[in-house]
Structure 1
Amino acid sequence: MRRSTSRRTLCAALLVASLWAPTAAHPAAADQRPVAAHPDKGDCPNSLGRGLTSRLDKTMNDVGKKADIPGAVVGLWMQGKGCYVRSMGVADTRTGEPMAADSFVRIGSETKTFTVTALLELVDEGRVKLDDPISTYVKGVPKGHRITLRQLAEMRSGLFPYTEDAGFVHDLLSDPQRTFTPRQSLAYGFKHRNTSAPGKKFQYSNSNLILLGMVIEKVSGHPLADFIHHRVLRAAHLRHTLFPRGNEFPQPHPRGYTDQTLSGEVADATNWNPSWGWAAGAMISNLHDLRHWAKSVATGQLLTAKTQKQRLKTLPTGFPGTTYGLGILKTNGWIGHNGSIPGYETVTVYLPSKKATLVVMMNTDILSQGQEPSTLLARAITAVATPKNVYDGAATAP
């Protein structure tokens, strides 16, 4: 969904800005420090060294304050050098509860990597072909006879993004607990003419992934959530990742804050129903699972070498240094995806040249000077840790 910083009131901005620094308003917040090491030695047995760790701590703190981020978690693992896991800020602005690195978060568009992996497993089995038209599986798609599954996964279908329809935005924000079916979500986009001919240009659109989810269900004969659970999550040994049926949310999780409201004021979106995002953005995970998923996606651990090669054949997005493949982003060497949903943002990427993994999780999606806070933090962290490979996820910003 597109956001506008003009909707934020001064009061709302000040509210969030004050949360990064310690405050005497609540005992937990008073004891909190801007940066706190995560105690989970299993995820980070060896640090990156005092000098680099200190620079990353300062970077994380500076970005957090400037971007008005309530709380964030960063995990960086570099083979042969060590790792860096930090949580900072608060998980709950009311109580001052510190952000915890073992939290579950809504991962938004990172769901796309799971959906497309599921589709590509069906490709490997010969049950679908990437160059099949979507009309073979789903009726009623504008110019569906000309749009292929490949073009949907590449974000080159030309279909209007349903999340940009004014009626959809109003209906979602009027009742964030509402359940949307895939057909209902798509209907908002199908009211509009296609924005371009199939394959002509890159346009990030959730409509594409909703359709791919419907293809998976039709071909497999199983609900998408079940298919992903059994064929993707179990196979990748991801025990802390799920596709929710409604607004369920495992503990522990931080409260999520958004300004995507009808009034433009900041609201708690923790329990909003993510059904509208479905195959494009409904899933939940944590730091441990996202760390392992990053490498799995980038190296094709669940796919044949032939199919993974097709997945990584990326095309220009119009953003320098950034290309997009089959449900996957490449940006200055990093491979993976980012995610944004009201209240939460994430980045999960892998850098093959350094055998490095970066995961960023935070409990806000409120833009900072027109940019997503997760992009700002990931960009700053990589500028310090991998200066020749600086992350930029602007191409997939809603």
Structure 2
Amino acid sequence: MSLRSRRSTLPRRHGRAVAVLLTASLALVPAGPALAGPGGDGERALRARLQELVDRPDGPPGAIAVLRDGDRLRVYRAGVAEVGTDRPPRPTDHMRLASAAKAFSGAVALRLVDCGLLGLDDTIADRLPSLPAAWGSVTLRQLLNHTSGLPDYSAAPDFVELIRADPHRVFDSRHLLDFVADKDLGFDPGSRYQYSNSDNIAVALMAEAATGQRYEDLLASEVYQPLGLTQTSLPSDYQLPEPYLHGYDVEPGSPTEDVSTLFGASGSWASGGLVSTPKDFSAFMAGYAGGPLISDATRRQQRAFVPGASEPAGPGTNRAGLAIFEYTTRCGAVYGHTGNTAGYTQLAVGTPDGRRSLTLSVAEQVNQKGNPDLLAHLRAVEEDFVCALLADH
């Protein structure tokens, strides 16, 4: 049955998907990437590692990894882009970025810091006086590194009830924080780390307040255009551009269900609503993790890390910076972000020099709450690909 027709109620499996989703949620344009075909023992080993994920009874129907070195792409894939076909995942397939979208709101904010329109110590009271006064002392810096204490709107009972009743509901994205406007901060700002989807909603609202421009337009001017991203967008509805990597709910013993369009994007907005392709995603992370998208001075602030893992946790040891995470693996450290939502799990990392990046995308939601064993397997595979990325240095 098409999920597009199921707007009034959710089957039990999709109710589970809602619960997991809501607790998790310069000229830099290359001349034209050349796709390099894998070859050699190391390349075959990486392909085999990706295939192991797909071959698990609880594994994703499709997976794709893209290693970028300048304008050269190496593509690894396993499984299919759509169940019932033999079409492999491609670097030009659209997909949901989930919480990796937080890196994009971070990029917008840090670009505005660079040009003096925002300051990392600007507070909610300064920039967003219409938000609760109890939140007023929270700074942009604390929003970006998840030490703000803001209550998570995506866990609010009223929000959960609405999205359960109609997963395709179009929310007023700029009023998502209204769902928790009656809540105090969870802790003193800056005192500890706690991942919250509310943080990046507030970041986008600060950016709008500082510029008088819509966040969607700021994404275009501050991120898409400088990095040459042509297949990245922030939709308000549930549809995906063609072609796309289909995302699935996988439960051993039950039919695999396509949940690519189960949820609309307006309910996650700057916190998780972006749609992109592996090709664009890898170009973004190369520029954001180490390239000239932001200044050296701002990048030093970005890389002031505190203990804290992304959601889901990425490879190796995780530490949180300003809308970016440090992943220290057995082969060295890289910088990036993860994400998970119904049908998709994402990792994108870049090297400190901004030349090389890795994206690894699987067509299933994988996190600690839903399937810890599969997440452990995925993190091990991610680490192998990080080692391949760093070996090219």
Q: TM-score scaled to structure 1, two decimals?
A: 0.78
Q: Give 1:244's match in structure 2, choosing from 235, 245, 256.
A: 235
Partner of 1:200: 191
Q: Residue type of the partner of 1:275?
A: S
Partner of 2:142: 151
Partner of 1:135: 125
Q: Do residues 327 (structure 1) and 327 (structure 2) align? A: no
Offset at 1:302? Answer: 1.6
In 2, Cα distance between equivalents of 1:387 and 1:239: 27
- Within 5 Å, give how 1:160-179 maps onto structure 2: 160-179=151-170
Offset at 1:45? Answer: 2.7
Partner of 1:226: 217
Offset at 1:165? Answer: 2.3
Offset at 1:182? Answer: 3.0
Partner of 1:336: 336
In 1, Cα distance between equivalents of 2:189 and 2:380: 32
Percent of aligned positions with the same letter in both sequences? Answer: 26
Offset at 1:92? Answer: 2.3
Q: Give 1:51's match in structure 2, choosing from 41, 44, 66.
A: 41
Partner of 1:386: 387
Aligned length: 348
- Alignment check: 8 A CA contact 2:66 2:278 kept: yes
After TM superposition, the structure 1 stretch with the greater mean CA deviation from structure 2, 358-367 or 119-128, is 358-367
Offset at 1:219? Answer: 1.5
In 1, Cα distance between equivalents of 2:389 and 2:86: 37
Partner of 1:87: 77
Q: Aligned to 1:143, what secondary structure does the other structure show?
A: helix
Partner of 1:17: none
Partner of 1:365: 365
Q: Give 1:109's match in structure 2, choosing from 99, 103, 107.
A: 99
Q: TM-score scaled to structure 2, two decimals?
A: 0.79
- Alignment check: 8 A CA contact 1:107 1:283 kept: yes
Partner of 2:50: 60
Offset at 1:389? Answer: 8.0
Offset at 1:206? Answer: 0.9
Which residues of structure 1 form unaligned runs of 5+?
1-6, 13-40, 391-398
Offset at 1:172? Answer: 1.1
Partner of 2:26: none
- Alignment check: 8 A CA contact 2:82 2:245 kept: yes
* 1:159-206: CA deviation from partner (whole Å, max 9, x where unpaired): 111122233223212211111123442122334332211001111111
Offset at 1:133? Answer: 1.0
Partner of 1:347: 347
Q: Do residues 317 (structure 1) and 313 (structure 2) align? A: no
Q: Do residues 255 (structure 1) and 284 (structure 2) align? A: no
Which residues of structure 2 form unaligned runs of 5+?
1-11, 18-31
In 2, Cα distance between equivalents of 1:208 and 1:169: 18
Offset at 1:158? Answer: 0.5
- Alignment check: 8 A CA contact 2:60 2:248 kept: no
Q: Residue type of the partner of 2:157?
A: A
